[in-house]
Amino acid sequence: MSLRKRLGEDPANNNVVHINYPEDEVKETSYQELKGHLHYKVIDKVDLAVLSQTSSEMVEKNLESAILKVLSEEPELSINKTERAQLVSELKNELLGLGPLEPLLSDNTITEIMCNDYKKIFIERNGKIVSAPIRFRNNRHLLKIIDKIAAAVGRRIDESSPMVDARLKDGSRVNAIIPPLALDGPALTIRKFSEDPLQVNDLIRFGSISPEAAKVMKAVVKMRLNVIVSGGTGSGKTTLLNVFSSFIPSHDRIVTVEDSAELQLQQKHVIRLETRPPNIEGHGEVTIRDLVRNCLRMRPDRIVVGEVRGGEALDMIQAMNTGHDGSLTTIHANTPRDCLYRLETLVSMGGLEITEMAIRRQIASAIEVIVQVARLSDGSRKVVSITEVSGMEGDIITLQEIFKFEQTGVNENGKVSGQFKSTGIRPRFSTRLKAFGIELKGDLFSERPERNRML
């Protein structure tokens, strides 16, 4: 009988058989208890500082030797070669990686990892959320992994500071929240990013944007229009920002400003700025607004702000209006019009006494293109609208939609069907294209059916 069968687990899919213990008790399966027991005994027999400086092959060899030595001291326990290899792999993840999360992090088909507590783990794959076949030993184990992530980027999480935003080495975004704010135990969310950033051709192939819309956006970025990417949570705003930033000429000096650095710009002349939380005494905090103000003194050709969600919107708008054109940012909003409403609210949080009309005029002058992105019911992410901010009529900011995605239905497999369409409106900025040496076909903005792309 195998080790997992002896310990009451399902060998077919390596899922732990969950027992419905009372929520206020912290219990572990026998296999998890064994792994935890071996974990601490192995630590006593290896030098982690030395292991971290050796090759992966040497790490595995040294760990296997240590595990075999530990197992030899447990005469009542016998395991086969396959089980031993699995223990080596899992203990290596515990000692040098992020424990049970490592297999999920190495799976390129997973885009999000959500730990509601130590035994309720979910993943997003192909836009769908499913349960993951892993668990932590207990909430203390999950908290230890969160501590490890935060410490790696110089951040902390404890009762006095129970929330943290961080990033992994590959740029994946991490958010963690712990008790007393999280009532059922530590909660961890990881938004994964590919080591090889998606390119515009990938988005076209996935059906996320039409070739015509992509061509226009490439021209928009090259001609230094200010662009804001709008969308809901998990809609793909950062991915789209990465793609659009790839259109920036390589000789431009780019300064990026983010809460947790996750943008993957490919240009050489890039300076990345990241916020800093307050220390344990409550001092030393550096906000996005502080960084936006500072980057204006760094002679940037382009400013890329990962997301505006506070008073920094005022500084960003002022920068766009004072010669720092060609800037890019994202915002949480469900439509282009909502984007403007939210931007008004954020600018008003800047602390200056500005009238509503003055705020709107600043926004209308600064923002030139709004790209709306959405996650549809089948989990796919698409650019659903490209809209030009055309000015003001009275006290209203005027918009004109250039491209849109029109959903026509859902097939028997639940996949959304529809088409990208040109609205037939030629944007005002099209007259500026030639000044930048950009030639677009005259019928690019045509409403003719052959210009529309079926999905």
Cα–Cα distance list, 110 to 165, 215, 240, 455 (Å): 20, 29, 18, 24
Q: Whose CA is closest to 220, among 370, 114, 343?
A: 370
Residue range 322-338, pLDDT digits in tens: 888 899 999 999 999 99
Q: How confident is the model at residue 22 (pLDDT cuts 50, 70, 90)?
A: very low
Residue range 192-240, pLDDT digits in tens: 877 777 899 999 999 999 999 999 999 999 999 999 999 998 898 999 9
Who wins on pLDDT, 371 or 377?
371
Residues near 426 by beta carbon (within 8 Å), at least 6 away in sequence: 445
Beta strand 369-375 with 328-332 is unpaired
DSSP 8-class letter at 286: B
CATH 3.30.450.370 occupies which residues in the chain?
A: 100-194
Measured distance CA(175)–CA(160) in Å, rounded: 16
Of 29-38, 352-361, 397-406, highest mean pLDDT? 397-406
Least confident of 120-124, 227-231, 282-286, 287-291: 282-286
**Mean pLDDT along residues 158-185:** 89
**Mean pLDDT along residues 254-280:** 87
Q: What is the pLDDT of residue 382?
A: 94
Q: What is the pLDDT of residue 39?
A: 67
**Candidate CATH numbers 3.40.50.1820, 1.10.630.10, 3.20.20.140, 3.40.50.300; the one for domain 200-454:** 3.40.50.300
Please give the torsion angle defined by the CA atoms of residues 7, 10, 11 and 15, in that order, rounded to the nearest 10 degrees.
-110
Q: How confident is the model at residue 366 (pLDDT cuts 50, 70, 90)?
A: very high
Task: Give me 331's structure tokens.
Answer: 């915002």
Chain centroid offset of residue 289 CA? 21
CATH 3.40.50.300 occupies which residues in the chain?
A: 200-454
What value does the mean pLDDT of the chain take? 82
Instruction: Find where tokens 């135990």 sit.
Output: 185
Q: How confident is the model at residue 378 (pLDDT cuts 50, 70, 90)?
A: confident
pTM (predicted TM-score): 0.77
Whether pLDDT at 142 is above 50: yes
Neighbours of 41 (CB within 10 A): 16
Who wins on pLDDT, 279 or 234?
234
Who wins on pLDDT, 33 or 364?
364
Whether pLDDT at 15 is above 70: no
Cα–Cα distance list, 17 to 38, 100, 133 (Å): 21, 16, 10
* Architecture in CATH of 100-194: 2-Layer Sandwich (3.30)
Of 14-23, 275-284, 294-303, highest mean pLDDT? 294-303
Q: How confident is the model at residue 73 (pLDDT cuts 50, 70, 90)?
A: confident
Amino acid in position 176: A
- In 3-state terms, what secondary structure has residue 418? strand
Q: Whose CA is closest to 261, among 165, 396, 338?
A: 165
